[in-house]
Homo-oligomer: A and B are copies of this chain.
Amino acid sequence: MKKIVLRDDEMPTQWYNVVSDLPGGLRPPLDPETKQPMGPEKLAAVFPMGLLEQEMSDQRFIDIPEPVSEVLKIWRPSPLVRATKLEQALGTKAKIFFKNESVSPVGSHKPNSAVAQAYYNKREGVKRLTTETGAGQWGSALSLATNTFGLECVVYMVRVSFEQKPYRKSVMQTFGAKVIASPSSETNSGRAIRAKFPDTPGSLGMAISEALEDAASREDTKYALGSVLNHVVLHQSIIGLEAKKQMKIAGEFPDVVIGCCGGGSNFAGLAVPFVPDYLDGKKIRFVGTEPASCPSMTAGALAYDFGDTAQTTPLLYMHTLGHDFIPPGIHAGGLRYHGMAPIVSALIRDKIVEPMRLHQLECFEAGVLFARTEGIIPAPETCHAIRGAIIEAMREPDKPQTILFNLSGHGLIDMAAYDRYFAGELHDYDYPEEEIAASLATLPTV
C-alpha cells in the first residue's frame, strides 16, 4: 500500500498526555516575581480553565470533546504515506513513512490544537482570542478555529513574515481575523521594542509579548499559544496516536521518529505516543531537527526562562537561547523561537529525544527532492524534518530500518521562499555564538 487511511470512527477519541509517563517528571512553571510554582489562578487571566487543567494534568488520557472531533474530522484522520519514490531516489533500504498533516484546510498540523483551544475558550464565555504567528501557519489555524466557534481573533504576525507572506494574511482575513505586524505600535511592549530596535524583523518572542498584553488588558479576551505548552502537545498527540494505528495496519513499527522543532509541538505530537513503547523496552529513536540559526536544543541552556521577549510569561523550564535572542530572518519562520516545549526539553534531558542541528540550504535541497519524488511541496519548516529523515535513511543505506517523519505542512503558501532558494538568494547562517552567549547571560536567576 502507498498509503494507510483511517475512517472517521477510527479517529482517536482521547488525547495522550505524556506528562504522566515522563521518567524525570516536569518542573512546574514559576511565578517570575516570587520564583514559586505558579498555580492556575494567576494564569486564568489569559487562559481558560479547561486548558489550564490540561496544562497541569498528569492524567494519561483525556477525552476529546465531541464538538472538537466534529471539526477535526473535516480532514482527520490524516493519511500515513510511504515515500516509496523518495526511497528509490535515495537508493536506501530504509522504509520511509510520513504522516501527512498538510491535508488540513490551512495546510499544516496547527489546527489540531487551534480547534481545541477555540472550543474551550468558547465554552467559558470568552469572546476574543489573541495570538502570535511566525510563518503564519498557527495564525491561519487559529483564525479557522475561532471562526468555527464564533470568536473574534487578533493575530500578531512577526513583521518579516507579515511582509513576505501576504497570502497567509489573506487566509486569516478570509476567516475573519485581524492581522497586525509585530512589533506593532498597538501595545506597550511593541512600542518599547520598536524604540529599542527600530529595524527589527520581529520574532515570535516579541509577538507573544504583544498578544499576551492585549489579552491581559481586556476582560473578554484570552490568549492562545500555538506550541510550547503542555496542552498544545496534548492536542497534537492525535498525530502520533493515529500514526501508531496506521503503522500497525501497515505491519510496521518505526525505528526512528523524526520531526522539525520550532516550539516542539508537531514533533512531540508525532513522537510522544511512542514514548510508552520506548519505556517498555522497544528500540526506537526520536530525532528532533532544528535550524542552525536558532538552535535552542543543541546550543541553548536547560533553564527557567521567559517565553517572551518582554518577560511577561511565567518562567518555563526548557531549552532556551534566552528570551532576548533574536534569530536571523530565515524563511522557516515557524522555527524562529528562542525556547523549546518543556515536554520536549524533558525528553532531551531524559536522553529519549536526540536533537539534530541543520542548515537552511540542505533543508531546502531535501524539500525539493521530496517535492520532485513524492509530489508534495513541503513547508520550509517541514524541510527540516525531511532532511533529518534523509540523513537517517542514508546513515546506513543498506540497513532495512523503518523511518517515520511528520510532514507538518505544505509549502504552497510559502513559495516565495522557494523562489529565493532557486534564485540563489538564500544562504546558511552560521551558529550565532556571540548572540547566544549574550542572550544566555540574561537568563533570570531562580
A residues near B (Cβ < 8 Å) are: 1-9, 70-71, 73-75, 79, 81, 84-85, 103, 105-107, 111, 144, 147-148, 166-167, 170-171, 173-176, 368, 371-377, 410, 412-413, 415-416, 418-419, 422
Given contacts A74-B374, A174-B418, 12 further A-B contacts (CB under 8 A): A74-B375, A75-B103, A85-B148, A103-B103, A106-B412, A147-B372, A167-B415, A170-B418, A170-B419, A171-B415, A173-B422, A174-B377
**Distance (Å) between the CB of A54 and the closest chain B CB?**
23
Residue among A4, A70, A85, A372 with the most chain B CB within 10 A?
Answer: A372
Residue in B103, B167, B173, B422 whose CB lies within 8 Å of A167 = B167
Contact A1 B8 (CB under 8 A): yes
Q: Select one of B6, B85, B371 contacting A174, CB under 8 A.
A: B371
Known contacts A71-B375, A173-B422, A167 near B412 by CB under 8 Å: yes
Which B residues lie within 8 Å of A144 (CB)?
Answer: 375
CB proximity of A258 to chain B, nearest CB, Å: 20
Q: Which of A3, A147, A166, A368 has the most CB of B within 10 A?
A: A3
Contacts of A375 in B (CB 8 A): 71, 74, 105, 111, 144, 147-148
Find out whether the CB atom of A73 lies under 8 angstroms from the CB atom of B3: yes
With a cutoff of 8 Å between Cβ atoms, the chain B residues found around residue A147 in the complex are 372, 375
Query: B107 touching A412 by the CB < 8 A rule?
Result: yes
Q: Which residue of B lies closest to A420 (CB)?
A: B170
The distance in angstroms between the C-alpha atoms of A400 and B274, with both chains bound, is 46
Question: Are A412 and B415 in contact (CB-based, < 8 A)?
Answer: no
Q: A105-B377, A147-B372, A175-B371 are in contact. Are A170 and B416 (CB under 8 A)?
A: yes
A222 to B371, CA, bound (A): 24
Bound together, the chains give a CA A423 to CA B426 distance in angstroms of 33
- Are A6 and B5 touching (Cβ within 8 A)? yes
**A170 neighbours in B (Cβ, 8 Å):** 415-416, 418-419
Tell which of B2, B71, B167, B174 touches A73, judged by Cβ atoms closer than 8 Å: B2
A70 to B71, CA, bound (A): 30
A376 & B3 in contact (Cβ 8 Å cutoff) = no
* Contact B74 A3, beta carbon cutoff 8 Å: yes
Q: Which of B75, B81, B103, B413 is A412 in contact with, Cβ under 8 Å?
A: B413
* Known contacts A74-B375, A74-B376, A375-B144; A171/B412 CB under 8 A: yes
Flag if B2 contacts A74 (CB, 8 Å). yes
**A372 contacts which chain B residues (CB < 8 A)?**
147, 174-176
Residues of B within 8 A of A71 (CB): 375
A173 to B, closest residue via Cβ? B422
By the criterion CB–CB under 8 Å, are A171 and B377 in contact? Answer: yes
Q: A173-B422, A422-B173 are in contact. Are A5 and B5 (CB under 8 A)?
A: yes
List B contacts of A376 (CB < 8 A): 74, 105
The 8 closest A-B pairs by CB, nearest first: A170-B415, A2-B73, A167-B415, A105-B375, A105-B376, A1-B8, A5-B5, A103-B103
A74: nearest residue on chain B (CB-CB)?
A: B375
In the bound complex, residues from chain B placing their C-beta under 8 Å from that of A173 are 418-419, 422
Q: How far is the CA of A175 from the CA of B106 in the complex (A)?
A: 22
- Name which residue of chain B comes closest to A6, CB basis: B5
- Report how far A413 CA is from B415 CA in the complex, Å: 9
Contacts of A416 in B (CB 8 A): 166-167, 170
**What CA separation (Å) do A78 and B176 show in the bound complex?**
28
Do A413 and B1 touch (CB < 8 A)?
no
Chain B residues near A171: list those with CB within 8 A.
377, 412, 415
Chain B neighbourhood of A167, CB < 8 A: 167, 412-413, 415-416
Q: Which residues of B contact A175 (CB under 8 A)?
A: 371-372
Which residues on the B side are within 8 Å of A148 (C-beta)?
A: 85, 373, 375
Chain B residues closer than 8 Å to A174, beta-carbon distance: 368, 371-372, 377, 415, 418, 422
List B contacts of A4 (CB < 8 A): 7-8
